[in-house]
Structure 1
C-alpha cells in the first residue's frame, strides 16, 4: 500500500495537498480512518509530508493536518535506494541508470522482466550468434511476441542489452534491384524511392547508372525493412551512401527522418526534389501531421531560397507527389545528375 501512496503523490501535480485531496486519491471504501491516518502519519515521520502549520489539524484521533507540503525528493529517496539495492542483485551488465530518471511505475512494470533476464544471463551468459527476435524472446520469457509486440526491444535498449543479446529484428524483407556492374566498387550508392511508380520508372535504367541498388521503400515500411539491408546485400566493401526520394510532403519528410534514425546519414536526392520544385504544387495535404523537426533537418540540404519555398509549400498544405516527374524526366535526372 505504501508504494501505491508514494506513486500517487509523485504523480500529484501540485506541491501542496489538502487532507480532503489526500482522502480522494488514497483512501477507498474498504480503508478505515485509522488505517488511512496511520499511512499519512508515517509519511509525516519520514518527512515526505510536512504539515502546513497555519492550516491546523483536525480533532479526530489520530489527528491529521488539514494541509500538507509534499517533499517529492524525499519520496524518490526510497525508490532510488531500491534501485541501488537491485544494482547489486541483478547481473552486472544490466544497466539501471535510466530508471533514476523515469517514473517508478516503469520500474515496477519492468522489474519482473529484469529478473527473468538476470536468470537467463546467470545460466546461459551472453549468446554467441544472432537469432530472430521471436526465438530469443522465447528463450528469455517463454513468449515469442514479447520483444516484437510487448515493448521488449525498448526495455532491452533501456538496460543496454539489445546488441549484446544478438537479436535479429523481424521485419518484411527489403525490396530492391541490384546493378551487378558495381558490386566490386569500393563505394556503393543506393537510391531509396518511396513509391512503386517511381521504382518502376527507374529500375530499367539502373545498369546505366553508377548506383549499386534501387530500393523500393513502400511508404512507411522502409523504416523497418531497412534493418535487413546488410544481411540481404552482404557487399565485400561496406562503404554505403544512401539517397532518398519520396513525396515532398509532411509524411514523406517524416519517413526520411525516421530512416535517418535507423541508418544515418541518408541524404535527400536533391536532383529529383529540385526538379519537383519547378512544377506547380498540388493542394490537399492539410490533414498530415506537421513535424517541425523533420522539416527543419530536411531543408538544411537546400539553398535559402529553396528552403523558403519548401516551408511555404508545407505550411499551406501543398505538396509534390513523386509522380509529378514523368518516367523520361526521372530517367534523365538519374542518368545525368552529379551524385556526390
Structure 2
C-alpha cells in the first residue's frame, strides 16, 4: 500500500531497570533450572523494577527522555503520546498524562492503549494515522510494561518469562520512508488462555480474588504457543502478499520477544534466515508491549535508510498483527 504522506520513525529511545533477575536466582525461588529456562525460552535474565516508589510511568518517561536526547528534540515540540501498556500505574487516572508530565511534554495530549503484547503495533498504527492526517507533526509511541508487578513468583510457568522495560519511537511525516502497511487482528475466543482475571469490572478485587491469586498472570502455555506461531506467520504472509513483496525483499524481521522457540518457528515458516531476525530476549525476557521498541532501540545502528522491516506480534486477547515499514526519514 502506498501513501503520499508517510509516518516515519525518526528517533528511538529505551529504558530498562538496573536490577537483573537471572535464571540462577529463579532456581532458588521455584522448581526450575537455568538449563530448562534457556532451552525452553531462550531467556538468560530479565530486568525488574524493584523500587516500590517507581512504576510504569517512570520507565516510560525515561525512555522518552532518552529518545529526546538522542534526536535533539525539544519536549515542547511533541503533539501527542500514545502509550501502549497492559500495566498502567493505576486503573484510574490513565497513565499517559502522568508520563507527559514526568517527561516534560507540556504541549502534548496522550492516552493509554492496551493491546497486551501487540499493543505497540496497535499504538504505532494509531499514531501513524495522526501523522498521515496532517493534524500532528510529532507523535511519540511508547511500549512499556512493569510485568513484575502482576507476576506470581511462585508460579514457575510464568515467572521465568517476563521482565520490565520501555521503548519509545518518534513519528514524523516523510515523503520517502515510513510505516507503509499494517495487518492487525483480534480473536476474543482466546481471552481465557492468557489473562489477569482479577481487578476489572468483571471480577473487582475482594478477599476471594486475592485468595485465588487472580491478580496475577495465568496462561495456557501450549495454546498460546501454537496460536502465536500461526497468527504471526499468517499476518506476515498477508502483509507481504498485499504489498507484492517476497520475503527476500525484507531486510530485517523484528518479532515480539515472547519465546525463542516461537521466534525460530515463525522465521522458519517464513523462510527467513535467523541472521535477519533481531533477537534480544536473552537479556530482557518478555517485556510485553516493550519488546519490539526495545529491539528497535538495541539494534538501531544496524538499520540503514530505506531498509525494509517487518514487525510482528501476538498477545493476550488474542491480539496479533504485523507491520511493514521502510526505515529512516
- TM-score by length of structure 1 reads 0.21
Larger Rg: 1
| Bigger fraction of residues in helix | 1
TM-score by length of 2: 0.22
- Which structure is higher in strand share? 2
Question: Higher relative contact order by CA 8 Å / sep ≥ 6: 1 or 2?
Answer: 2
